[in-house]
Every structure is written in C-alpha cells, then in structure tokens.
Amino acid sequence: MEKAEKLEFVSTMNETLKDTGSIVVAHYAGLTVADMTTLRSQMQDAGGTVKVAKNRLMKLALKGTEIEHISDLFSGPTVIAYSDDPVAAPKVAVEFAKKNENLVVLGGAMGETNLDVNGVKSLASLPSLDELRGKLVGLLQAPAGKIAQLTNAPAGAVARVVGAYAAK
C-alpha cells in the first residue's frame, strides 16, 4: 500500500467505526480462503462487514473513536467484524467460530463498553433488531385482533339465538 492509500484507509475506517453499533475482533490464523469467503457472505447477509487489516493501521483508525479502548486486541493475524445492528456482527462471528475452530474471538466493543469473549457471546445470544421489531409488531397486533373477536362474539351469539327461535 502506498502512503496515500494508507491514509485514506485510516480516515475511512475511522469514520466507519464512529458510526458502528458493535465490533468484534478475532484471530483468523488457519482459515482458508473459502472459509473467509463464507464468513464474509454470512456477515453481509446479516448486514455487517468483515475486514482484514494491518494492526498498526487499525490502531490509528481507532484513535478518536469511542472504541479506542480495544486497540490492545490488535496483535497477530486479526480480523474485525462490525455492523450497525449491535447484535448482528457478534451473532455471525460466534456462530462461525463454533463451526470453525480457526476463528478465535478475542473480544470487541459496543459503544464505550468493552466486551471480552463472554460479553461477545452474551451479545450474540440476544435477538437482532429485526427480530425485536417483529415481536413488537406481533404484540401490537395481538390486542387489536382479540378486540375484534370480542366485538364479533356477542353479535354471533345474538344471531344464533334468533336462528334458534326461528327454527322453533
């Protein structure tokens, strides 16, 4: 990389990391190209991104962000996964790490909160924003459906009574 490319990468990553919901840092030594491609596609499907970058450049990119405190995780062959949804990146990374022992989750961050391995795993166990929105819509629609059933029930009962008298 030329110096100008490095400066562009650092500034772009700095802006990206300022707006991210969560970030996961992991070691990827031993992953094949096919494994990395699978991880990238799974992360993209979930709305996240996977990047492999030089540790020195990532430490520079973290400066001035609220997640600067995770810069000590960048040693060795590291990969970062990040997403706007705070749950998406940890969920995909943890699920992928379960199936492939070559991806070792080191930790991460969600805003100013530093996450260790167990923190990342707990975050991964939470439902995503889309799942929460679906549950909320279901909860909001359920009372309306029950009210409609209750208002229709008395009218149906009256119709049955009238039908019974008519049959006599």
**Domain of residue 40, CATH code:** 3.30.70.1730
Are 21 and 84 in contact by the 8 Å Cβ rule? The answer is: yes
Tokens of 135: 């549950």
Range of the domain at 14: 3-126
- Pair 120, 49 in one domain: yes
pLDDT at 132 over 90: no
Q: What is the mean pLDDT of residues 20-41?
A: 91
Q: What is the mean pLDDT of residues 108-125?
A: 86
- Pair 131, 152 in one domain: yes
CA distances from 15 to 55, 101, 105, 157 (A): 17, 32, 24, 64
Q: How far is Cα 86 from Cα 20, in angstroms, rounded to an integer? A: 8
- Please give the pLDDT value at position 38: 93
Q: What is the mean pLDDT of residues 126-138?
A: 77
Quote the Cα angle for 53-128-103, to 5°.
Answer: 35
- Pair 158, 142 in one domain: yes
- Pair 121, 149 in one domain: no
pLDDT at 40 over 90: yes
- Pair 121, 143 in one domain: no
In the chain, how long is the greatest CA-to-CA distance?
A: 96
Report the number of distinct structural domains present in the chain: 2
- Please give the pLDDT value at position 43: 92
- Pair 22, 59 in one domain: yes
Average pLDDT, the chain: 84
- Pair 79, 152 in one domain: no
Per-residue pLDDT reduced to its tens digit, 47-74:
899 999 889 999 898 888 888 888 888 9
- Pair 113, 142 in one domain: no
Instruction: Tell me the pTM.
Output: 0.72
Exposure of 85 by Cβ count < 10 A (0-12 exposed, 13-18 middle, 19+ buried)? middle
Q: Identify the band that residue 81 occupies on the pLDDT scale cut at 50, 70 and 90.
A: very high
Q: What is the mean pLDDT of residues 132-155?
A: 69
